[in-house]
Structure 1
Amino acid sequence: MRYAKIVFSLLTLLLVVSGCGTKRQYFEPESVSGKLSYDGSLPASIMDAGRDGATLENGQVLTSKGLSSVTLPKEYVFLGENNGRYIASSQCGALLVMDAHQKVLFKKECGTAVASASLKGNLLAMVLGSNELLLVDMSDGKELMHLTQDNVFALDSRIAAPYFLGDLIIFPTLDGKLLIVDEQSRKPIRDVVVSNEKFFGNIIYLQVLGDRLVAATKSKVVSISPKSINFLEAEVRDVIVLKNRIFVFTKDGKVMLTDADLKVLKDRKFTFATFAGTIHGDFIYMIEKGGYVIATDIDLVSTNVYKLPDAIESNLFTTEDTLYYKNRFFKLDRKQ
Structure 2
Amino acid sequence: MKSILLSVVVIALFTACSGKKYYEPEETSSNIELNKKSMSSSIKSMNKIGATLEDNEIITKKGISSFQLPEGFEFINFTEEGEVIATNYIDKILLGTRERKVKDVVVAAAKRDEKLALIYSNNSMELIDINTDKTLFKEYLPLSLANDTRVANPIFMGSLILFPTLNGKVLILSSATNEVVRNISVDTDSDFKNIISLEVEQKSESLIVANAHKVVAISARDIISKEYDIRDIIIKNGYIYIATVDGNIIKLTPNLEEVAKRKYKYAKFHALAYGNSLYAVESQGFLINISDDFRNDTVYEFSFDNEKRLIAIDNKVYFNSDYITLP
Q: Same fold (TM over 0.5)?
A: yes
Question: Partner residue of 1:91?
Answer: 89
Distance 1:108 1:301, change over 3 A: same
Spell out the pairing of 1:20-99 with structure 2 (5 A cutoff).
20=16, 23-34=19-30, 39-82=36-79, 83-98=81-96
Question: Partner residue of 2:120?
Answer: 128
Distance 1:300 1:284, change over 3 A: same
Q: Please give the alpha-carbon distance, in whole angstroms, between the structure 2 residues aligned to 1:243 and 1:190.
A: 28
Alpha-carbon contact 2:201-2:238 (below 8 Å) kept = no
AA partner of residue 206 (structure 1): L
- The offset of 1:191, in angstroms, is 1.2
Give deviations 1:6-26, integer Å, cap 9, x for gaps. xx99xx79x939962894322
TM-score (norm 1): 0.89
Alpha-carbon contact 2:44-2:51 (below 8 Å) kept = yes
- 1:20 partner SS: helix
Distance 1:22 1:262, change over 3 A: farther
Q: Please give the alpha-carbon distance, in whole angstroms, between the structure 1 residues aligned to 2:66 and 2:281.
A: 27
- 1:91 partner SS: coil
Match among 92, 98, 103 for residue 110 of structure 1: 103
Q: Please give the alpha-carbon distance, in whole angstroms, between the structure 2 residues aligned to 1:250 and 1:309.
A: 22
Alpha-carbon contact 1:118-1:124 (below 8 Å) kept = yes
Give deviations 1:225-271, integer Å, cap 9, x for gaps. 11111111110111122344222210111011222211223211111
Report the RMSD for the aligned CA atoms in angstroms. Answer: 2.2
Give deviations 1:182-206, integer Å, cap 9, x for gaps. 0121110001111003621100111
Alpha-carbon contact 1:237-1:251 (below 8 Å) kept = yes
Alpha-carbon contact 2:291-2:297 (below 8 Å) kept = yes
Q: Please give the alpha-carbon distance, in whole angstroms, between the structure 2 residues aligned to 1:84 and 1:39.
A: 27
Q: In the alignment, is residue 279 of structure 1 matched against residue 273 of structure 2?
A: yes
Q: Please give the alpha-carbon distance, in whole angstroms, between the structure 2 residues aligned to 1:242 and 1:52.
A: 14
Q: In the alignment, is residue 269 of structure 1 matched against residue 284 of structure 2?
A: no
Match among 128, 144, 147 for residue 155 of structure 1: 147
Alpha-carbon contact 2:212-2:229 (below 8 Å) kept = yes
Unaligned runs of 5+ in 2: none
Question: Partner residue of 1:143?
Answer: 135
Question: Partner residue of 2:201?
Answer: 209
Return structure 1 stretches of 4+ with deviation > 3 angstroms: 15-19, 21-24, 35-38
Spell out the pairing of 1:171-182 with structure 2 (5 A cutoff).
171-182=163-174
Q: Please give the alpha-carbon distance, in whole angstroms, between the structure 1 residues aligned to 2:141 and 2:35.
A: 43
State the identity as a percent: 29
Q: Please give the alpha-carbon distance, in whole angstroms, between the structure 2 residues aligned to 1:275 and 1:21.
A: 20
Alpha-carbon contact 1:95-1:110 (below 8 Å) kept = no
Unaligned runs of 5+ in 1: none
Q: In the alignment, is residue 320 of structure 1 matched against residue 317 of structure 2?
A: no
Alpha-carbon contact 1:292-1:311 (below 8 Å) kept = no
Aligned length: 318
Alpha-carbon contact 1:153-1:198 (below 8 Å) kept = no
Q: Please give the alpha-carbon distance, in whole angstroms, between the structure 2 residues aligned to 1:198 and 1:265.
A: 27
Q: Please give the alpha-carbon distance, in whole angstroms, between the structure 2 residues aligned to 1:87 and 1:17.
A: 47
- 2:67 partner SS: strand
Distance 1:70 1:122, change over 3 A: farther
Q: Please give the alpha-carbon distance, in whole angstroms, between the structure 2 residues aligned to 1:274 and 1:93.
A: 37
Alpha-carbon contact 1:289-1:313 (below 8 Å) kept = no
Q: Please give the alpha-carbon distance, in whole angstroms, between the structure 1 residues aligned to 2:87 and 2:238.
A: 35
Question: Partner residue of 1:230?
Answer: 224
Alpha-carbon contact 1:162-1:171 (below 8 Å) kept = yes
Q: Please give the alpha-carbon distance, in whole angstroms, between the structure 1 residues aligned to 2:236 and 2:84.
A: 27
Q: Please give the alpha-carbon distance, in whole angstroms, between the structure 2 residues aligned to 1:17 and 1:79.
A: 41
Alpha-carbon contact 2:124-2:140 (below 8 Å) kept = yes
Greater shift, 306-315 or 269-278, is seen at 306-315
Match among 187, 190, 205 for residue 179 of structure 2: 187
- The offset of 1:282, in angstroms, is 2.1
AA partner of residue 232 (structure 2): D
Q: Please give the alpha-carbon distance, in whole angstroms, between the structure 1 residues aligned to 2:74 and 2:86.
A: 5
